[in-house]
Amino acid sequence: MLRLVRTAIALALLMALAALAAWIADQPGRIRIAWFDHIVEAPAPLLALGVVLLVVAAFILTWIVAWAVALPQRRRLKRQAKGYANFAAGMVAVAAGEADRAAKLAAKAQKQLDDPALARLLAAHAAQLGGRNEEAQRAFAALNQDPGTAFLGTRGLLADARSRGDRAAALQLAARASALRPASPFAAEAELQLLVEAGDWAGARKRLDLARRKKAVSREAASALEARLDLAEAASALQTGDARMARQHAEQAAKLLPEHPVPPLLLARAAEKESGHHAAREAAAKQLRAAFARRPSEALANAWLGLQQDVAPAGLLARAEAFVAERRPEVESRLLLAAAALQAHEFSAARAALDQLGSRGGSWAARLQAKLAEEGDGDIAAADRWRESIRSELWQCGHCGSGHADWHLLCPDCGSFDSLDPTRLGEAMPLAAAPRPLLMLEKR
């Protein structure tokens, strides 16, 4: 429809010009022009035609000059378009894992694009994909020098430092990324991860406060990480003998992580070290009982028994019965009663409970049998045989499967964050699919 309208307008203009030409041709008269000693005389229609031809010639000449002037710009834009197309194709090749094709397209894009930043970014990713780490590092370093791409360059150098295991350099680069973009979730998590790995709890808490103010992390994720930092600081305070500080951190963590198995454990250890603090012991015992009712484990049972060191044997057994009342028939409850009997030196009662369980008690029962053989019977050889049958520790990493005698915020073997859980009956658990993220913490 639009083409028809344009055609009709063009025909109308041609008809108007033809009519004007016919009208001028029909007009009589001549035009005489005197220029110094020269005289030009011509019919009026012919002179009008000459003027029209002169205007057309001037228009054509102007168009040619404009085309010649704009030719370099058009060539540059065409080259730029090819460069952007090669950059896009190169990023697709990177995503597809085609390192050689990506490198070739990066070289083409570098020649075609006026801004070298995009070509450098593509070249860096292509080199990284192809295992040419030094080349990738040079490309990221060049990006790092440009204010417009400094964050991208820092991010690439940070990834390279992490892959090389250079934590000192990685921490410096993470701090630079945070300085460039304080509100970046990537910068916040990268620096927090490195600070946590270094055991710098104070530095991690300071960086978390900045991330919270800049809204780089959600309120829920910040609270969850802060609670786990409280757990780590509580464990550190216990190691240095500051039971009061450990209790304060553990109490704060217990408020934010009501179902986590570690806060009751640390509260019990802190209360055990605080002599004369009866209220703290009672509060810790209450939390241990609730945690044991949710998910019974040997670690929680041992923590509760540690609080009962000064209790008389008869009173200890009665307290143990009350402690497991909610899960009395279960194997874990019977093992706790056997452990309480051992602690009270009621060896016959402990033996009867363990014999009744048979092979259902797992490694927890084997540890108790070894203690019974050594303390109740004085049979060191039998105790050693029982210890040889123990297959796991009290805590297991859900990512790598390694066993540990105590809880750590980071797995000592694989470094996974908050991945240690108490084993059930001291037996190994199925492994998790992936380590728990630092700032995207699911509920436990």
Question: Each residue of 253-298: pLDDT tens digit?
Answer: 999 989 999 999 999 999 888 876 788 888 999 999 999 988 888 8
Checking if the pLDDT of 441 tops 50, the result is no
So what's the pLDDT on residue 56? 76
CA separation for the pair 442, 190 (Å, rounded): 19
Query: What is the C-alpha separation between 285 and 279, in angstroms, rounded?
Result: 10
At 78-133, the pLDDT tens digits run: 888 888 888 888 888 888 888 888 888 888 887 887 777 878 888 888 888 888 88
> CB–CB of 149/158 below 8 Å?
no
Q: What is the dihedral angle through the alpha carbons of 278, 283, 285, 291, rounded to the nearest 10 degrees?
A: -170
Reported confidence tier of residue 443, pLDDT bands at 50, 70, 90? very low
Contacts of 394 (CB under 8 A, 6+ apart): 297, 298, 299, 302, 403, 404, 405, 406, 422, 423, 426
Mean pLDDT of 339-352: 90
State the sign of the Cα–Cα–Cα–Cα dihedral 311, 313, 315, 320. Answer: positive
Per-residue pLDDT reduced to its tens digit, 21-43: 676 666 666 666 777 777 767 67
pTM for this entry: 0.72
Flag whether pLDDT at 416 surpasses 70: yes
- What is the pLDDT of the chain when averaged over all its residues? 84
What integer pLDDT is reported at residue 433 of this predicted model? 44
Percent of the chain with pLDDT over 90: 21
pLDDT band at 146 (very low <50, low <70, confident <90, very high): confident
What is the average pLDDT across 133-143? 86
- Residue-level pLDDT at 398: 82
Tell me, what DSSP letter sits at residue 413? T
Query: Which of 4 and 254 is assigned the larger pLDDT?
Result: 254
The residue behind tokens 């916040």 is 188
Torsion 432-437-442-444 (CA) sign:
positive
- Tokens coding 3: 């083409």
Question: pLDDT at residue 208 above 50?
Answer: yes
Read off the pLDDT band of 13 (50, 70, 90). confident
